[in-house]
Structure 1
Amino acid sequence: MAKYDKADIERRMNGAVESLKGDLSGLRTGRANVALLDPVVVEVYGAMMPLNQVATVSAPEPRMLSVQVWDRSNVIPVEKGIAHANLGLNPMIDGQTLRLPLPDLTQERRKELAKLAGQYAEKAKVAIRNVRRDGMEALKEDEKKKEISEDDRKRMEEDVQKLTDRFVAETDSVTEAKEKEILQQ
């Protein structure tokens, strides 16, 4: 079993929060966000590639995304990739650029997206609690091997719990802000 390492525990908990932020950035709100197209993969040159490796994505207007395809021969595959991603977007081709107007979100869809944000948050909290468990087990193992005293173990367990509480609170605040943004009209 690995020896207790507070820096590693903090790094892993922070990783769970950063992963959550990435997941949430992909959720569509009323405003255009280039991260919305992050999950899109395109079949070009006989392989599946992420959209950001064949085009530049920008948000020139609050309700419009623009995809500038680098190679003219990839315009149709990029259009197909966006259509197959089931994002509810309807690309319009304009030369080597695809324009993606964002339709208004219905109240029902906003609630679904807010619920999804909550599910992402719960996944992040589970990851944080798993890291906490690993840290607590490492401390007990270190105490059993007589590498630390019982008092040291208890003090360090409090540190791990404080880290856990801090990252769970950060998860809650990030998710709350995203839900508020989604439900805004």
Structure 2
Amino acid sequence: MSSVDHSQFFKEISGRMENTLKVLDKELKGLRTSRASVNFLDAVQVEIYGGRGPVSQVGTVSTPDSQTILVQVWDKALVKSVARAISDANLGVTPMADGQMIRMVMPPLTEERRRELVKLGYKYSEDAKVAVRNVRRDANDELKRRQKNKELSEDELKSATQEVQVITDKFISEIDKMIKEKEIDVMRI
């Protein structure tokens, strides 16, 4: 395997691990903090003309203050569908429709609920770590296969395996950083 193959191989591994971080980031943004956030509704899927899509495809989501989320629905015919989707998502908020505007007031979080959210965040981070380690395993298997097929020497295999571990450690560290930041954010009153 030439150095060109190496860089492309490691770039592919990093890309797969980066996708795991994007998924984790989206999951963590969906966890509620004590402040209203436009990302709060990211996971809510609305019935749109026979299909499904996120709330952001049918209206503008805004936070006029730290406790309120507003959705300005563009098509009046979809207001009920958006309100129902928010209710069905069990987010702990009650959508109130007023014309083409849907308002949600974020109730304060209890200490117990904050701890549950942190625990859920840690579950998401563990799932992300497992996904990163699975990418590492796949990469190492591919390297061993190449070594077996005489595309890599023993020294190249060892060096490449070490590089895969360095990349893995970098992403695991990033996951730890992300969950720590979210924990601080959720526990802040």
SS of 1:87's equivalent?
coil
Task: List runs of 5+ in structure 2 lacking aligned partners.
Answer: none
Q: Give me the TM-score of the superposition, normalised by structure 1.
A: 0.94
> Could you report, residue by residue, the CA deviation over 1:27-54 in whole angstroms, capped at 9, with x for unpaired residues?
0001111111112122343443322221
Match of 1:9 in 2: 13
User: CA 1:161/1:35 → structure 2, altered by over 3 Å: closer, same or farther?
Assistant: same
SS of 1:146's equivalent?
coil
Q: For residue 180 of structure 1, report the CA deviation from its aligned partner.
A: 1.0
Match of 1:88 in 2: 92
Q: 1:124 aligns with which of 125, 128, 141?
A: 128
Match of 1:144 in 2: 148
Q: For residue 90 of structure 1, report the CA deviation from its aligned partner.
A: 1.1
Match of 2:45 in 1: 41
Cα distance in 1 between the residues matched to 2:11 and 2:50: 43
Q: Does 1:155 align with 2:159?
A: yes
Match of 2:101 in 1: 97
Match of 1:56 in 2: 60
Cα distance in 2 between the residues matched to 1:151 and 1:48: 52
Cα distance in 2 between the residues matched to 1:89 and 1:6: 44
User: CA 1:44/1:150 → structure 2, altered by over 3 Å: closer, same or farther?
Assistant: closer
Q: For residue 73 of structure 1, report the CA deviation from its aligned partner.
A: 1.9
Cα distance in 1 between the residues matched to 2:155 and 2:128: 30
Match of 1:171 in 2: 175
Task: List runs of 5+ in structure 1 lacking aligned partners.
Answer: none
Q: Partner letter of residue 180 of structure 1?
A: I
- Cα RMSD between the aligned structures? 1.4
Relative contact order higher in (CA < 8 Å, ≥ 6 apart)? 1
The share of aligned pairs that are identical, in percent, is 46
